[in-house]
Structure 1
């Protein structure tokens, strides 16, 4: 369940960024929204949204068969068993990095956001709050994967 929840906690912020890409100010003042109207900004926000969601979806691999055996359709590696540390190490590093990146999100409202409307500041803060859970959920799923796949010690 935690693996699936991981994909869901990333979704609200991604949908908000997609609204910006589609031209909706999504809580910004007119002047604050201006930097988001360039092609470069739109490509960045769309790419960020897709990459974040795909990264979150990778967590599901820690609870599904494709986290144990590489899917056959993947060239050169398909059908091979996944070495547990090949999944655990990147997932643990990712969990630690995500925890650090999103650690300050609960204090969103204590930071100034002059480029946003009061309602926008409230809504965006709410949409970003779930990201605080991304790292810890990934860590929990990673630890569970490790426990299920660790070598059995004799004795």
Structure 2
């Protein structure tokens, strides 16, 4: 007897997942860290006192504080972005065996969905702030730049970064559907 499974679209191979991960979810997991990379690179010259075209006085912090802060913030940003791979990998469903005491245990879906959603909510708030300041909504003003090229570059770099929140919610929704909905019945 030939049984076929209802296939909602192309599936990617993801190691260790209970159900196949849709190709779009796999691609999105790769896109999220790439969206954060430009803003992380944008921050690095600022750590060394280069203003990146901003027409404001530099930081009053010493380089001994600014450099670790900016590098730490960039590493933290990319680290959070990479954590969203857990939504399309087996380690987002079962604790890896190498973890003492908890290794091999199934992770309840909401133990992943709730913190991921809180993170996505924070980044969505950054999107709202970006829209308000970039477009001067309600009299809010953005940073002044020495010329339009710097301002355009800053807008694009930060605009890519603030897409994170909504894209994270899409990724979380895909995880929820895959983990919490019953499997599609087999057709005969």
Q: TM-score range by the shorter chain?
A: 0.7 to 0.9
Q: Which residue among 64, 69, 89 is the counterpart of 1:44?
A: 69
- Give the RMSD, CA atoms, in angstroms: 2.3
Higher helix proportion: 1
Q: Measure, in 2, the Cα distance between the counterparts of 1:34 and 1:22.
A: 10
Query: Counterparts in 2 of 1:85-104, with a 5 A limit?
Result: 85-104=110-129
**Corresponding position of 2:94:** 69
TM-score by length of 2: 0.70
TM-score by length of 1: 0.83
| Structure 1: gaps (5+ residues) | none
1:128 aligns with 2:153: no
**Would you say how many aligned residue pairs link Structure 1 and Structure 2?**
151
Give 1:109 deviation, angstroms. Answer: 5.8
Tell which structure's C-alpha radius of gyration is larger. Answer: 2
1:143 aligns with 2:152: no
- SS in structure 2 of the partner of residue 33 of structure 1: coil
**Corresponding position of 1:83:** 108
Q: Measure, in 2, the Cα distance between the counterparts of 1:60 and 1:81.
A: 17
Deviations 1:22-64 (A, max 9, x none): 45432235x6334465322222211111111111111111011
Would the aligned equivalents of 1:17 and 1:45 in 2 still touch at CA under 8 Å?
A: yes
Q: Measure, in 2, the Cα distance between the counterparts of 1:85 and 1:105.
A: 29
Would the aligned equivalents of 1:95 and 1:138 in 2 still touch at CA under 8 Å?
A: yes
Higher strand proportion: 2
- SS in structure 1 of the partner of residue 102 of structure 2: coil
1:117 aligns with 2:146: yes
